[in-house]
Structure 1
Amino acid sequence: MTVTLLGATEIRSLAAELDVTPTKKLGQNFVVDANTVRKIVHAARVQPGERVVEVGPGLGSLTLAILEAGASVTAVEIDHRLAARLPQTVADHGVEPQRLTVVDADALRVTELPGDPEVLVANLPYNVSVPVLLHFLETFDHLKRGVVMVQAEVAERLAAKPGSKIYGSPSVKAAWYGDWKLAGTVSRQVFWPVPNVDSLLVGFDRAEGERGTLEERRRTFEIVDAAFNQRRKMLRQALSGLFGSSAAASVVLESAGVAPTGRGEDLTVDDFHRIALRAAAVVDQGSGT
């Protein structure tokens, strides 16, 4: 059975049928170019028989490209009209109905995914891209890799390494789960409507094993946020609020092998994790446990 992809005319027709007008509020920019959605699927290394989760399938452009590659799709869609129409669109384009499962819900509130997909592929609106990615990585440990299309600035932050001016809280939190790399460029002209910003593909491969416990992650992320909320300050000052004083912060930092005069943008996720572990140890010692 041959899968056909959506073209620009059909996408506009579907939108008119559903009375869907792309909105800035939801960050909706529909991809109208078949080569682009195939490029995303190729970058994600989607294989026949795999189960893929797609966040925000919209009218189904990328969904059909994933299905064309032989995978099955669990599609999470917040817009009830789009969620209800997607199975018909897929069937109309030559796909067996059982290869698509639609979850009509807000991606940020989803806690279960049918089929335990191992691959994440999505075109994410810039205003929720980082929260959605972190929520999915935190909640679904069966996700092993993925590629998402996001605003260029977001993609660059996710893939940034220590020492870069764009390295920040999202960079460190994303690195907790694995390795992130830029995976391709996307022209503005493949979208309807044409956005005012550039987009990039960014991909991840989850690290083997867990980096730390849930509590360690919570504590590490708290330290990351504090460090980058005042990124121009030395770490001993930026973390003074968390540890009670800059002197207390210096004790924790030095015990973790981190210079108190350094800054958050110089530290790896392992450095932040080590600070969190030493902070817990210092607290335990202080309480006599």
Structure 2
Amino acid sequence: MLNARVNEELVAAAGVEEGDVVLEIGPGTGSLTAALLAAGATIVAVEKDKHMATLVRDRFGSTEQLKVIEEDITKFHVHSHFLPILEEKSHGKKKYAKVVSNLPFNVSTEVVKQILPMGDVFSVMVLMLQDEAALRLANASIQTPEYRPINVFVNFYSGKRVFL
């Protein structure tokens, strides 16, 4: 996503502010990463593509606010990466991380199933999804054939703030 305004809207929707810890999935070239850093966040960016991970590291190499991990998000162990960071940043108080991401279509359902139940780690999850994925996850009515187990899952774990 190269549109800076959209990236700023994602950051604002998540309420990202100075000192927040954010999971960014698939940072690509780092345009959303730049907006998150500008808001003062510490970012753990998980990128499967070695070339893109290198690009993001090179682009933001001088900041200690960014940790790029080359891994498939569907195999990523969230607790082992985030709990130490949250403990370090919390100074004795309970602190939660946020998820802000422009998700690749092919992992959107798996990521939602993986991350959404992690209320012990994440307080906010703001995802930009392709239209079909968003509709499949959030817009099916219980009385329609499109209503699937994933809709029950999303409705159970999420607040009712879903924007299409």
- When normalised by structure 1's length, the TM-score is 0.48
Runs of 4+ in 1 over 6 A off after TM superposition: none
* Conservation of the 8 A alpha-carbon contact between 1:107 and 1:132: yes
1:28-55 superposed Cα distances (whole Å, 9 cap, x missing partner): xxx1211111111111111211000000
Q: Does 1:127 align with 2:68?
A: no
Q: How does 1:175-214 map to 2 (within 5 A)?
A: 175-183=155-163, 200=164
Alpha-carbon offset, residue 140 of structure 1: 6.9
Q: Which has the higher contact order (CA 8 A, sep 6+)?
A: 2
Q: Counterpart in 2 of 1:191?
A: none
> How well do the aligned residues superpose, as a CA RMSD in angstroms?
2.1
Alpha-carbon offset, residue 103 of structure 1: 1.1
| Change in CA separation of 1:44 and 1:118 when aligned onto 2, cut-off 3 Å | same
Query: Which residue, out of 66, 84, 88, partners 1:100?
Result: 66
CA distance in 1, matches of 2:60, 2:53: 12
Q: How does 1:63-78 map to 2 (within 5 A)?
A: 63-78=33-48
Identity of aligned residues (%): 33
CA distance in 2, matches of 1:169, 1:151: 20
Q: Counterpart in 2 of 1:85?
A: 55
Q: Does 1:159 align with 2:138?
A: yes
1:117-160 superposed Cα distances (whole Å, 9 cap, x missing partner): 61001111212101012112346731111110111122133223
CA distance in 1, matches of 2:97, 2:10: 16
Q: Does 1:172 align with 2:152?
A: yes
CA distance in 2, matches of 1:52, 1:122: 9
Q: What is the SS of the residue equivalent to 1:57?
A: coil
Q: What is the SS of the residue equivalent to 1:179?
A: coil
* Conservation of the 8 A alpha-carbon contact between 2:22 and 2:43: yes
Runs of 5+ unmatched residues, structure 1 = 1-30, 184-199, 201-289
Deviates more, 1:144-153 or 1:111-120: 111-120
CA distance in 2, matches of 1:125, 1:133: 12
Q: Counterpart in 1 of 2:81?
A: 113
Larger Rg: 1
Q: How does 1:1-40 map to 2 (within 5 A)?
A: 31-40=1-10
- When normalised by structure 2's length, the TM-score is 0.81
Q: Does 1:136 align with 2:125?
A: no
Between Structure 1 and Structure 2, how many residues are aligned?
A: 150
Alpha-carbon offset, residue 61 of structure 1: 0.6
Q: What is the SS of the residue equivalent to 1:53?
A: strand
Q: Counterpart in 2 of 1:148?
A: 127
CA distance in 2, matches of 1:113, 1:105: 12
